[in-house]
Structures are given as structure tokens and as C-alpha cells.
Amino acid sequence: MKNVHQPDWDRQSRTGFPEAIYCARKSPEQINIIIEDAVTRQRPLFLTALGVETYQGLDRDNSAQLDYDHVSATGIVGKTAPLGQSGVGIIAAGTSDIPVATEAQRTLAFCGYDSTMIHDVGVAGLWRLLERIEEIQQFRVIIALAGMEGALFSVLAGLVEAPVIAVPTSVGYGVSTGGRTALESALGSCSPGIMTVNIDNGFGAAAATIKILQSAHK
């Protein structure tokens, strides 16, 4: 097992958040070993950035263990807890943001938290956001996703009481290529209460959300 990633099975007991594996540069062989290790230890495991091609290259026995979602490129090993009512809203500006939004939603579900996703409410058509604003104002924590110029973050944070975790997405072209413009819009926003994670980091936004929800019980 030389040179194979050794999962940090102690993480949950230390930080309240279980081990997750970022699969982007891992081979099917490496992931096979990790899944087998999780199954043997009976530990739940969350896999991100697991592309369809890599997924299909896994051993049958291992892929059969996975609850796989190709939209978000995530896989779950093991049973997840029944979902409690958490009051988390996931607000995506456009359809292209749904893969990252789903990564966040699946991460929350893996840890036992439900969430509601609302999409196609970008500010180019403000009425769409305003039509649903009362529903949105009920959420306790909001994960907001937008690419292009990321104006949704500022508008949303100015309309709600909940903390807003901005996830800039790499959706766009020209100056917006790669998500930098959306990222800087979130960081430079004049609406107080916005916090930002890395571009396309739906997983990180969910992890932060969980820490916020858990801190309420301290």
C-alpha cells in the first residue's frame, strides 16, 4: 500500500467533521484501496471530484458500495444518518451552478442535514428572486452560488438575516473565466455578512455550514 493516501480516520472525533477524499488526481486503483479500507473499518466516507470515467474504472465490488451522483461527481460509502430539519437554503443563480450546489447538498446530507435548493434566481431578472424572497428569508444559513459577475451575493445578503456563504463558480467566459470575477465580487461586496469559500467549493461551504449549525448547540 505504498504511496496510497492514508485516510485520516480520526478526523471526525477531533474536528467534528468526517474524512472526505478529493479524487481529482487519484487513479481508480488508489480509490479502490481507500473504499475497501472504509468498508472494512465500517466507516462512512465521502468522495468528491470523482469523475464519471474514474467511477467507471473502479472495481465492480467497490462501485457497488457507492451511492454515486454524476451531476456533482460525488460518492458516498456507508449509510448516512436520517436527515434532520436544519433550515439550510442553497440558492443558485443559474442552472450551470447546480453541480456545485449539489456537491454542497450531498455533503450536508452525508452529515445528516437536509437542505432546500432554489435555482434560476440570478439578478439579471430580479423579479425571480423577489418572488421567492419570503421563503428564502426563513433559512437559518444560506449557501449562495453564482458565476459570471456574482452580483447575487450582494443582493441576497442585503435582503436576509441569515449568514450567507458565497460559493463563486467557474461559470462564465472572457473576464469571468475560471470564477475570479465572481470570487472578488463576493469578497468586495458592500453587503455585510457574506463569507466566501474557494471557487466551485461546494464541499467547503457545506462543511462551514455544518460547523455553524453545530456551534449553535454549544
Using CB under 8 A as the binding rule, the residues of this chain from 68 to 97 that contact its own copies are 71, 87, 93-96
User: Which region among 6-14, 37-45, 56-64, 74-82 touches its own copies (by CB under 8 A)?
Assistant: 6-14
Q: Decide: is 116 part of the binding site for its own copies (CB under 8 A).
A: no
Q: Report, in Å, the least distance between residue 15 CB and its own copies.
A: 6
Residue 32, interface with its own copies (CB under 8 A)?
no
CA distances from 131 to 64, 128, 136, 143, 145 (A): 42, 5, 10, 19, 18
Rounded to a whole number of angstroms, the minimum distance from the CB of residue 56 to its own copies is 18
Question: CB-wise, 66 or 111, nearer to its own copies?
Answer: 111
Q: How far apart are CA 33 and CA 38, in angstroms?
A: 9
Q: Tell me whether residue 10 or residue 60 sits nearer to its own copies (CB atom).
A: 10
By CB under 8 A, what part of segment 125-164 binds its own copies? 125-128, 140-141, 148-151, 153-155, 157-164
Q: Kind and range of the H or E element at 203?
A: helix 202-215
Q: Which of 90, 98, 104, 144 binds its own copies (CB under 8 A)?
A: 98
Name the pairing type of β-strands 141-146 and 164-168: parallel
Dump the DSSP string for 58-123. S-HHHHTTEEEETTTTEEEESPPPPPB---EEEEESSGGGHHHHHHHHHHHHHTTB--EEEES--G
Residue of 1, 14, 82, 85 interacting with its own copies (CB under 8 A) = 14
CB of 10: closest distance to its own copies in angstroms? 7
Q: Are strands 45-48 and 74-77 parallel, antiparallel or unpaired?
A: antiparallel
Determine how many CB atoms are found less than 10 A away from the CB of residue 218: 4
- Give the interface segment with its own copies, choosing from 35-43, 52-60, 77-85, 190-198 (CB under 8 A): 190-198
